[in-house]
Structure 1
Amino acid sequence: MSTAPMPEFPTGFRWGVSTSAHQIEGGAEADGRGPSIWDTFAREPGRISDGSSGAVACDHYHRHTEDVALLAGLGVSAYRFSIAWPRIQPTGTGPANPAGLDFYDRLVDDLLGAGVDPVATLYHWDLPQPLEDDGGWLRRDTAARFAGYAELVADRLGDRVRLWITLNEPFIHMSLGYGMGAHAPGRALLFDAFPVAHHQLLGHGLAVRALRAHTASPVAIANNYSPVRILGDSDADRAAGAAYQALHNRLFTDPLLGRGYPELPGFDPGVVHPGDLDTIAAPIDVLGVNYYNPTGVRAAEEGSPLPFDLVPLDGYPRTAFDWPVAPDGLRDLLGWLRDTYGDALPPIEITEGGCAYDDVPDADGRVADPERIAYLDGHLRAVAAAIDDGVDVRGYFVWSLLDNWEWAEGFTKRFGLVHVDYATQTRTPKSSYTWFRDVIAAGRPGSER
């Protein structure tokens, strides 16, 4: 970690933390919530590494006031949470479940009372199971259902949520959930999963329209990005890098910014109807960027079903997920977005950035996590450098406030600034919580550049 003073950030820079509903809420059957694809997936033997589920998770549904107090103590200006679609529409259709809306109504009011801006994500992978039974995101109708759900939520919360995010990481949801089968709903369709990309983006565009009708707050999408590191200097290696760039970084950005879809093998243009691209390109106010690590790519081995092979990157420290810690990748990525999209690129907020380590309380109950502090220090400096490079970055959200249920990894990976004892639900702020609190309190967000 650098010993130099933290760079100053622009006036109004937004400092926050992020969570998602299925990873922290629990209350899986409380107050009329319906089943999601992750409830179903977790019941299938072998799907979750430790055999757990998100049925209880961090019990945030019953402990949200305690978690809001942690946010207030941290001093963040914003909290990014997600709304559980099955809590609002248990079957994915029909009128809203009043108890579900009431929960988020209380959460938003409590956040505002604590001086924290609510940032709401409408979809963080928890599709109502009945919609998946009808085909899920492979079906065009799911996009229309999503827009209807967005309208119900915005009608209730649109006067108080300060930033709306339609979808979280549609690339990851498509690739791991429908392409490779490692996430819910567990389909392994490879390139036949491309309709999922289009229908998610169509749902985004329709939801933007619904949100605009009920709120004056800005609207965004949160994409996962990974700068491509081409390992090799052959034409085949460069073609593989371009293919992966198109798949991971351009597929969910080009159409948003009016460029249509990049050329990709296996994409069936028949799912694109007249007018769809105009709907998808509805103007957004912010581009959410989720960044964790770069990706090494080289030409595929003969017989591979994909046009590229993904290769581990050497020379970087590793997280407990075995992901490389590469702040330089974040600066490179932000520069790539600026150079690729130019004036079409809206302001950026880093809507997720964080790391998993094996954090264990000591004999006195304290949780020291110096590796996380070093990670955040490096990535915040990378953001400051990108701003100096001319990239319009207006916020940084740490993933995550709490240790949580980490999807297919269950409870085996800890990302939080706050340690959670899952047996007792005791929350213990880690040393990174104190460090981040002090960075914010030092007045950096309000500094003039």
Structure 2
Amino acid sequence: MSHILIVDDEPDILELISMTIDRLGFHYETACSVADAKHQLSQRTFDLCLTDMRLPDGSGLDLVAHIQTQYETMPVIVLTAYGSVDIAIDAMKQGAFDFLSKPVELEKLKTTIKTALSLSHDIETPNQDSADIPSMIGVSSAMSKLKEQIKKVARNQAPVFIHGESGSGKELVARAIHQLGAKQNQPFIAVNCGAIPSELMESEFFGHRKGAFTGATQNKEGFFQAANGGTLFLDEVADLPLSMQVKLLRAIQENVIRPVGSETEESVDVRILSASHKNLQNEVANQSFREDLFYRLDVINLQVPPLRNRKEDITDLSQHIIKRLTTSLEIPAISLDKSAIEALNQYEFPGNIRELENILQRAMTLTDGQTIYATDLALKTVKTKNTSAPHALQPGQSLEEYLEEIERDILKETLEQCRWNKTAAAEQLGMTFRSMRYRLKKLNIE
């Protein structure tokens, strides 16, 4: 049976939490100071610690740091006074599992305790190889560092911002965090924020009620409701319009959402993971992203290395991709010739892993046998920089027509490289899907 340590110097809070834990069927011990808590931790094994932030002889942060050092696998839930969320976020950065604001909501307390204990038990399962993340292919130093970071952040509920170039595998990192965390058996909902029309965004995120607007013929749940109890991954979060950023901030702060057309709010319990190929700090400086939302999302920051910085992983990645494709297509095994491996190792991969997968899928289609050679890869040669204009301005041609011609060439080349995947091309060019769609229509590119 689980054993929980409760640390608080307020008798009423201690009694309330003790009664709640007792009704859940768990054992508990109480402490009223940092020193007392450390002593009890040294005397017996606990599965979970709940600690107040303000204690007579120190801060709850001191206890979080001590537990992270001496009892790394033990989750810590921090209790904070209302309005002290910034301090609680600091605790989560140091490794706390989650935080609860006082006065404590009992249902939220019960849910958080159960979730934390499930994580504790999963970590302590015998023979579990915690160093292995099957979905993350690669043994380079950059990948080894990223895997260690993923394992660490998976142990708490802090929001994580994942930064990396387009196609580098940001969603894969988010899924790994979810699969290693306490909510692994709950929903994982991935959302591409740049692909949602602005007029539908509030309905898509928060749902709507029947009759809320023309076409709303029935109730519909949004992303938050679908992810309730699990993880919501906001990909390309920098593409959210400012009006939606305000509503998202409130949902994250208050853990409540209001469906379009509803007069009441709904409580939600989701862990927020977000990602972008853009630098959010630069977006804040440019006033295209709210600073308060940035600090809510970027509690923990993970950097995903581009493929060109982990070239020792290219061979293993290529073989993994080929095996997955041959299995899904139900075709005989295909191997990579030495010339193909050498060519891939010399290529820079501006489109990262997504581009590698496209190259290999195309090569599998073009090869006549069961071996892919360098010529089958059809890798693009790196163009040398040319300071002269790509086109000469023709007599009678306006500057606008001249610039459109250049833009049309860039869009076509990028689309061809991405096998006419508009979302991937938009990411590679650093624009939103809506902007890409507008430009294609304007330039009459089909």
Shorter chain as denominator, the TM-score bin is: under 0.3
TM-score (norm 2): 0.24
Greater helix content: 2
TM-score (norm 1): 0.23
Greater CA radius of gyration, 1 or 2?
Answer: 2
